[in-house]
């Protein structure tokens, strides 16, 4: 029964996240060689590869903005060429010889400048689109940090539970061994039976097996913690027992409203809605005319009458490109952009409904956890009192050693149950904070 409870607890406390990969950070060693939740979250949300990757996406977004803004600037290039022409047009004048209108060898070198003068706001829309894309990326960074924090919290409090549970099992083993010594001494005087000794030894063996399971589970959690921190998998870690968490400073009727404003999913949905609107505006401008100015200046030969002498020259003008028919590409691009807006609206509604469910569930679990803490405290108080009475009766010879062990076991189990209830309550608090969009880092 005890192992079944432990397994259920692990399934509750260990949600699977797809970002438990090894990083390059170094964990912070705190006084007493223990790690606080705050220090772990700070370390992970700063140096985890998932966070660094998300930050690198911001650099990509900056590059995209710069690329879009590049359309404000002219394109400048240098061109040069040589060509040999033959035959060339010549005329023959008697007594004067032959004359060519173009040279056999043609040389040219020029600097060319091309500048977009007006594109009906297409460049402006492209820049706005990329800037909105950066805001979406920035919000993604926050979401990555929040999910990593949730992973750290689950791992941290599982370790707290396992560490404290192992201590309780050690105390329970110590008590049982003291009872075993006492029973063995009583057997020597004939006041205890072999059955009592064997029963006590069986209980000791069962508790040792439970402790082995707890220690194995703790090693697994330490390995996951080291993975989050980027430490070698066999690095010894100890976490502090910190179950003090402030309640969210929100009234019950404002929890859902706060979640709608603060949750990363809703923020991302709003950013995606703006992005979809900008993309539609940008797409609708694809078939607008574009006016360009161009300037080219350099030197080349071929000018009469001295066709082999290089001369300075320039070309200056304006050009306009007017799309007439693009195979309906613009029409279908606009239709696709409009469909993306409607699809995003549905995604937003799906996210809203899911958030409402999470808030209601988290609030209900928090209330239930608070009741369980109160009940577990009462249960421990009753078990401790019952054990005290059992000790008095045992000393008076009214009850057997096995009945006294039952009382001791009840106290240990009540302590373990209270520990679990407090950790469940703390986990529920953090889940409520996360459900309403409060930052965990």
Give the list of residues 6+ apart from residue 368 with CB closer than 8 angstroms, or none.
428
Strand ranges across the sheet with 311-321: 75-84, 105-118, 290-300, 311-321
How confident is the model at residue 152, as a pLDDT? 95
Tokens read off for 363: 């609030």
Give the list of residues 6+ apart from residue 269 with CB closer than 8 angstroms, or none.
344, 347, 348, 351
Residue range 246-287+329-441 forms a domain whose CATH class is mainly alpha
Give CA–CA dist 222/238, Å, rounded. 8
Q: What is the dihedral of CA 61, 64, 69, 71, to 10 degrees?
A: -170
The pTM assigned to this predicted structure is 0.79
Phi, psi (degrees; rounded to nearest 5) at 239: -110, 155
Residue 26 has pLDDT above 60, yes or no: no
pLDDT in tens, 326-344: 888 888 888 988 898 999 9
Q: Exposed, middle or buried, 249 (CB in 10 Å: 0-12/13-18/19+)? A: exposed
Q: Delimit the domains of the chain by residue range.
A: 246-287+329-441
Across 243-247, 297-301, 387-391, least confident range: 243-247
Average pLDDT over residues 36-44: 93
Q: What is the dihedral of CA 115, 117, 120, 122, to 10 degrees?
A: 20
Phi, psi (degrees; rounded to nearest 5) at 265: -60, -40
Give the three-class secondary structure for 87: coil
Tokens read off for 423: 């950790």
How is 298-366 classified by DSSP, letter by letter?
Answer: EEE---SSSTTS-EEEEEEEEEEE-----TTHHHHHHHHHHHHHHHHHHHHHHHHHHHHHHHHHHHHHH
Across 27-36, 142-151, 195-204, least confident range: 27-36
Residue 15 has pLDDT above 50, yes or no: no
């Amino acid at each position: 029964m005890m192992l079944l409870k432990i397994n259920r607890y692990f399934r509750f406390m260990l949600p699977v996240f797809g970002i438990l990969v090894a990083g390059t950070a170094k964990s912070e060693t705190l006084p007493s060689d223990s790690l606080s939740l705050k220090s772990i979250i700070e370390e992970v949300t700063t140096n985890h590869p998932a966070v660094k990757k998300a930050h690198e996406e911001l650099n990509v977004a900056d590059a995209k903005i710069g690329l879009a803004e590049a359309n404000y600037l002219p394109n400048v290039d240098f061109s040069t060429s040589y060509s040999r022409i033959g035959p060339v047009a010549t005329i023959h004048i008697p007594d004067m010889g032959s004359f060519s209108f173009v040279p056999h060898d043609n040389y040219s070198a020029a600097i060319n400048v091309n500048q977009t003068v007006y594109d009906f706001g297409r460049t402006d829309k492209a820049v706005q689109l990329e800037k909105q894309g950066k805001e979406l990326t920035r919000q993604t960074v926050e979401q990555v940090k929040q999910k990593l924090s949730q992973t750290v919290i689950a791992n941290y409090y599982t370790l707290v539970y396992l560490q404290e549970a192992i201590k309780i099992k050690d105390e329970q083993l110590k008590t049982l061994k003291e009872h075993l010594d006492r029973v063995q001494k009583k057997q020597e005087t004939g006041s205890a039976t072999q059955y009592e000794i064997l029963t006590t030894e069986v209980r000791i063996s069962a508790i040792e097996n439970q402790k082995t399971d707890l220690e194995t589970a703790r090693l697994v959690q330490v390995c996951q913690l080291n993975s989050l921190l980027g430490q070698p998998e066999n690095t010894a870690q100890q976490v502090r027992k910190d179950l003090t968490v402030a309640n969210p400073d929100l009234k019950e009727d404002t929890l859902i409203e706060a979640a709608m404003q603060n949750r990363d999913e809703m923020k991302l949905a709003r950013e995606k809605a703006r992005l979809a609107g900008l993309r539609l505006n940008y797409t609708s401008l694809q078939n607008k005319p574009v006016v360009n100015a161009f300037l080219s200046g350099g030197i080349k030969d071929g000018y009469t009458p001295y066709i082999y002498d290089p001369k300075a020259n320039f070309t200056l003008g304006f050009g306009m490109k007017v799309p007439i028919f693009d195979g309906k590409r613009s029409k279908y691009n606009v239709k696709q952009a409009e469909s993306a807006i409607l699809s995003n609206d549905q995604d937003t509604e799906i996210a809203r409904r899911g958030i409402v469910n999470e808030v209601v569930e988290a609030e209900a679990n928090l209330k239930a956890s608070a009741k369980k803490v109160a009940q577990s405290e009462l249960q421990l108080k009753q078990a401790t009192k019952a054990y005290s009475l059992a000790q008095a009766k045992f000393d008076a010879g009214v009850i057997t050693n096995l009945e006294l062990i039952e009382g001791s076991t009840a106290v240990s189990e009540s302590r373990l149950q209270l520990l679990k209830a407090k950790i469940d309550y703390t986990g529920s608090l953090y889940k409520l904070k996360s459900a309403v969009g409060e930052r965990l880092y």
